[in-house]
Structure 1
Amino acid sequence: MLRPLFQALFAASAVVLTGCAGLPAAEMSLPASIAAERAESVQGLGAGRNGSFSLSAETGTFSRGLDRVDLFSVVNWSSASTRYSLVLADGSRTEAACSGKAVEVTWKVIAANAKPFSFECEWRGSRSAQLKMNAPVVSMTMKAERSGQFSMGGTTLEVESVHEVRGSSLPLEAPIGYVFRHDGKVVGAIELNGLTPRLWRPASGTALREPVTMAALALALLWDPSA
């Protein structure tokens, strides 16, 4: 199952939480430090395997996929791949190559992660960077949590999945988005609910704008192999 699985899950959650399909879809719960900031829409991602996108002055192209191998309905190997090329606001270009994987073992009604979710990206071109994300080896909750780091030059961002929905005490299992922290302070977020992700990022011209943008696009394009 591809990106539509996420959309179906989020849509169903929104209906349960609001009690009416005609009301707005569920929105990610944002930290107070950025909740009042204006979000930017990532146009063009949709649910396709290939395409082009735009984000204010930045534009790009992408390709992505998700493969699953099911062995006797007991062992399930999943792997995801993503590539995108981004033309930054100053006209320079960087390209990302990402891969994600997970292995799940199911016995009767019990499912366990034999190899928890992992996701890695590398950027080449005018900007060089790395992103590494993992699920916890042991989780005490039902949430499919992910966390990791994005590194570019001397800048490091802490990345963490968000499962809380605004106005509800009921968290979602799959991430509805991610937040980005620098030196412990939230500096950005990406909401993945629906066909058009929404991005909160630092102001144009600031040092953290490009790192947040690059990491957020990689996560927005991911077809999560654990979903």
Structure 2
Amino acid sequence: MRSIGVTLALVALGGCSAIQPARMRLPVELSAASARMVYSGIGGSTRGKFAVGAYHGSYERSEQRLAIFDAFVRNYGHSEFEIAGPEISSTIETRCQMREKVLDFGIAEFTTRPMAYRCEFTAEGRAIPSRFELQEVSRGIGGALSREERMGEIALGGETVQIRSVHKLDGSPIEMASPIGYVFEQHGEPVGAVELNGAPVLYLGNTADPGLVRTLTVAATTLAVFWDPANSALDDD
């Protein structure tokens, strides 16, 4: 299974310990009341079938790295999926591209072209009014600590939702450099989230709007199948 690969060692007062998967810290509004749905079928494979809640589909993805003189590095990849379920007449097809350029000098690494992940949506092969963009941002203390923050937005079916990466772990002061998940917001209020450590998990806030549920599910799936270069194993050899 490919995942962020983060675990916390929780040591009990009596000296016993247990290893549990790290979990993202949800906003208070979602941790207090939200529906939690685990994705099935999305693991470390390059392709497969998935299901989450009342939605299902298939996906395919890849990642590549091109290094020139071991210093000039280009990371790029693609992902695509089809999804069917409530508020989708037949299927929605999503095709995404990721690009990033890095200067790697061994002891230091500099991003010359920040990571950008963009997607296009079609329905039964026809373009529909929509957009999805996710970009790396570097600002404030997060940038100083080399935290690889991402922010973006999805617009689909009349719903517009902002996306921001989450780096804080539940029940711990630890913050991860790369995202452990993402929160979805409308008008500055959290309406959902997706957790990416291990099997992806979709959280839906207390909304009765089926159109928003559809948009959040598509956004979560777009991120669930995304291989972020911040977590890439391509340079582990």
| Fold match (TM-score > 0.5) | yes
- Whether the aligned pair in 2 keeps the contact of 1:62 and 1:85 (CA below 8 Å) is yes
Greater mean deviation of Cα atoms: 71-80 or 21-30: 21-30
> Which residue in 2 is equivalent to 1:198?
201
- 2:184 pairs with one of 180, 184, 187: 180
State how many pairs are aligned.
218
How much does 1:154 deviate? 3.3
- TM norm structure 2: 0.85
> Which residue in 2 is equivalent to 1:124?
122
**For structure 2, which runs of at least 5 residues remain unmatched after alignment?**
232-237
Report the identity percentage.
26
Amino acid at match of 2:70: S
> Which residue in 2 is equivalent to 1:147?
151
Change (3 A) 1:21 1:51: farther
1:21, 1:71 → 2: CA distance? 45
- Whether the aligned pair in 1 keeps the contact of 2:138 and 2:148 (CA below 8 Å) is no
**For structure 1, which runs of at least 5 residues remain unmatched after alignment?**
none
Structure with a larger share of its residues in strand: 2
Task: Describe the SS at the equivalent of 2:57.
Answer: strand
2:129, 2:106 → 1: CA distance? 45
Task: Describe the SS at the equivalent of 2:219.
Answer: helix
Q: Where do residues 1-227 of structure 1 align in structure 2 (5 Å cutoff)?
A: 4=2, 6-8=3-5, 10-11=6-7, 14-15=8-9, 18=10, 22-36=18-32, 37-89=34-86, 92-125=90-123, 128-136=129-137, 139-194=143-198, 196-202=199-205, 203=207, 205-227=209-231
Amino acid at match of 1:213: T
- Whether the aligned pair in 2 keeps the contact of 1:63 and 1:82 (CA below 8 Å) is yes
Larger Rg: 2
How much does 1:38 deviate? 2.9
Change (3 A) 1:22 1:113: same
How much does 1:118 deviate? 0.5
Task: Describe the SS at the equivalent of 1:213.
Answer: helix
1:137, 1:7 → 2: CA distance? 21
Alpha carbon RMSD of aligned pairs, Å? Answer: 2.0
Greater mean deviation of Cα atoms: 198-207 or 115-124: 198-207
Task: Describe the SS at the equivalent of 1:209.
Answer: helix
- TM norm structure 1: 0.88
1:71, 1:102 → 2: CA distance? 14
